[in-house]
Amino acid sequence: MTEKTVNAIGWFASAMAILMYFSYIDQILLNMAGHHGSLILPLATVVNCTAWTLYGILKSQKDFPIIFCNIPGIFLGGISAFTAL
């Protein structure tokens, strides 16, 4: 498989991860309306996305698809966790 194909797959996977994290917006709205969800999943998302973002940043050759797709998960997971309290 060529490097160009691998990069395209990486960016596609990143876009799908971002779409998945945007599903937290619905949970945040539900939390704010008084229908609180679980705290475990958003906290696990924040920890996981933080670890992957650090991994992408700290590699000798930065892994931008991993960095970009995990940043929304940190913020949206954090907001979801906060509003679930």
For the stretch 65-85, pLDDT in tens is 999 999 999 999 999 999 999
Q: Which residues contact 68 (CB under 8 A, 6 or more apart)?
A: 14, 18
Q: Which amino acid is at 16?
A: M
CA-closest candidate to residue 32, choices 24, 41, 44? 24
Domain spans of the chain, in order of start: 3-84
Is 11 in a helix, a strand, or coil? helix
CATH number of 3-84: 1.20.1280
User: What gap in Å lies between CA 20 and CA 69, rounded to an integer?
Assistant: 10
Q: What per-residue confidence (pLDDT) applies to 83?
A: 95
pLDDT of 1 over the 90 cut = no
Q: Which amino acid is at 3?
A: E
